[in-house]
Amino acid sequence: MSNDKAILVVSFGTSYNDNRARTIGAIEELIAYHHPDWEVRRAFTSRMIIRKLAERDNEKIDYVTDAMERLANDGFKTVIVQPTHIMNGDEFEKVESVVEQYKGRFEKLCLGKPLLTTDLDYDMVMDAVDEGIVKESANLGHRTAIVLMGHGSEHYANATYSQLQMKFITSGRKDVYVTTVEGYPSFEDTLKLMEGKGYTDVALYPFMLVAGDHANNDMAGDDEDSLKKIMEAAGYNVHCFVKGLGEIQPFQNLFLAHADQAIDG
pLDDT in tens, 136-190: 888 898 899 999 999 999 999 999 999 999 999 999 999 999 999 999 999 999 9
The catalytically annotated residue of 85, 151, 214, 258 is: 151
Q: Phi and psi dihedrals of 177, rounded to 5?
A: -125, 150
Catalytic: 258? no
The answer to whether the CB of 61 falls within 8 A of the CB of 28 is no
Structure confidence by residue, pLDDT tens digits, 206-221: 999 999 999 999 999 9
Cβ contacts of residue 14 below 8 Å, gap of 6+? 20, 23, 24, 49, 210, 212
> So what's the pLDDT on residue 231?
98
User: 1: pLDDT confidence band, cut at 50, 70 and 90?
Assistant: very low
At 149, is the secondary structure helix, strand, or coil?
Answer: strand
Q: What is the pTM of this model?
A: 0.95
State phi, psi for 65 to the nearest 5 degrees: -60, -45
pLDDT digits over 10-52, tens only? 999 999 998 899 999 999 999 999 999 999 999 999 999 999 9
Q: Of 85, 83, 119, give the one whose Cα is nearest residue 7.
A: 83
% pLDDT > 70, the chain: 99
